[in-house]
Chains A and B, each alone.
Chain A
Amino acid sequence: MNVVVRYLPVVLLLGLWEAASRLGWISPDILPPVSAILAYWWQLFKTGDLAKHAFASLWREGAGLGLSIAVGTAIGIIMAVSTTVQRLVQPFITFLYPMPKSALIPIIIIWFGLGHSAQIAVIFLGCLLPVILGAFNGAKGVERALIWSARSLGASPRKTVWDVVVRGAMPEILAGIRVALALSFVLLVSAEMIGARQGLGYLIAFLGEQGEYAGMFAVIFTLVAFGFAADRLYLAFSQHMLRWREA
């Protein structure tokens, strides 16, 4: 019941959209009715086109993001633990952080061509910095007393990093990854629209060239749903990971 009331505005908006298009307030060429979009979606789904492109997109997304999480967390923690590494790497990060990552797409297309590896590289490089910063700030903020206690109780340096620093930094690591998650979708779709032969971003651009506007909206709806689902799943995952924390 609560959910119904909460999401009622979305239903209203879609209803208004349908009416505007059906009743000719806005030309259906410009804004295809929602029902036509859903019909097109079903068609894309039935022919297997949607699954094919969605699979390509999700694979790139997962691979790029997974790599950036593994590498970024490691770099961030190492930076926090070692002042030397921090001094060496920090100027790089301060300069690269504000760079709009989409600017890397042409160069990566030159390097990697139009296949999976180009999109994976774009996502990896784009998501690396938010993950590094989250891990670095988190690890820097871990209470010194906790580290000292662990050390004085005989934990090895490696065990201290693993059990105390990484755990203590977890809230900020997870927050950094959430930023990266949103960014990864943007970079995925951008890279696929600019240079790819597969994937949902490519499918939008392709349908657009064919003049299939209902189809474009169908794919966009799919992407919006993916983004929403990923965000919700990730929130649930974070809460699970942080269940030891006092609220």
Chain B
Amino acid sequence: MSRAARLASIVSPAVLPVLVIAIWEIVARKGLVSTFLLPSFSGVVVRLAQDIASGEILWSAAGTVMRLVVSYAIAAVLGVALGVMMARVRMVRWLLDPLVSIGFPAPKISFLPIFVLWFGVFDKPKIVIAIFACVFPIIAGTWAGTQAVDKYLVWSAEQLGTRPATMLWRIVLPAALPSVFTSLQVALPIAFIAVIVAEMLGGGGGLGGTMMEYTRLADPAGVFANLIAIGFLGFLAMKGLEWLRRRVLVWHEEVQRQGDVVS
């Protein structure tokens, strides 16, 4: 690659973001759009720095992350367990298959008011709705992945006298792991969406709750600062999961091929 080309490849990704931010700043400064609708970019950055310095936004973020981590962890364990059971136990498959096929495309967030009724207004309904929202893709992905495990692999292990428990932990689960990971990667943003909406509707802090409060107080800089924090957290979470995937699946041909998975 020539030097000019290398320079272009480094600079070009920054072109559009810089352009958008510049236009944003100019439009807001010139008052082409009222600051109520669009606070200036620099104003939002200053606001974000202030909220970080005062610790306010960190406190909100901690609430959101706590709810997200708890619900996601529970959904992951539950979803993988149910998915494996659906693939391996006929009775479970018969029982859950129609429920999953109805539950999967349903907008689960519509149950939120019901969960508030059942579980009160604090953390519990928010965690439950997030589990409910993101468990279906995990079940479906794990089920499909487990079902697709190479039959010869299983038969060979059986021939060699592998016990059922060992079979599950050493053969079936590792072989299904790539699909399980994919479903976990699909589920994370869904859980995040649910947590944010639950916070917006239910209050009780968190980034979503704070955003809604600033909307009511007509404080758009505060709304944007929280939006940036949410975007940053989402980005961090997805990158973290991609990193974990590469670490955990280091033995798998997918990583060894160094196929940079475009997600």
Q: List chain A positions with a Cβ less than 8 A from chain B.
A: 5-10, 13, 30, 84, 87-92, 95-107, 109-111, 133, 137, 181-182, 185-186, 188-190, 193-194, 200-201, 204-205, 208, 213, 216-217, 219-220, 223-224, 227-228, 230-231
Contacts and interface: CB of A to CB of B under 8 A. Distances in A.
Contact of A10 (B102, B106, B189, B197): B102
Contacts of A101: 193
A27 to B, nearest CB: 11
Given A105-B200, A220-B111, A223-B107, A98 B189 contact: yes
Interface stretch (B6-14, B47-55, B155-163, B249-257): B6-14
A106 B200 contact: yes
Contact of A102 (B197, B237, B262): B197
Contacts of A100: 189, 192-193, 195-196, 230, 234
Given A106-B212, A193-B201, A9 B98 contact: yes
A88 B189 contact: no
A139 B133 CA distance: 31
B96 A91 contact: no
The secondary structure that dominates the B interface is helix
Given A100-B230, A102-B197, A110-B215, A189 B109 contact: yes
B105 interface: yes
B107 to A, nearest CB: 4
Contact of B231 (A99, A105, A106): A99
B108 to A, nearest CB: 7
A227 B224 CA distance: 32
Contacts of B190: 186
B99 interface: yes
The secondary structure that dominates the A interface is helix
Nearest to B116: A208
Contact of B12 (A88, A102, A200, A204): A88
A181 to B, nearest CB: 8
A223 B109 CA distance: 10
Contacts of B263: 97, 133
Interface in B166-225: 188-190, 192-193, 195-197, 200-201, 207-208, 211-212, 214-215, 220, 223-224
A111 B37 contact: yes
Contacts of A231: 104-105
Contacts of A111: 37
Contacts of A88: 12-13, 15-16
A9 B113 contact: no
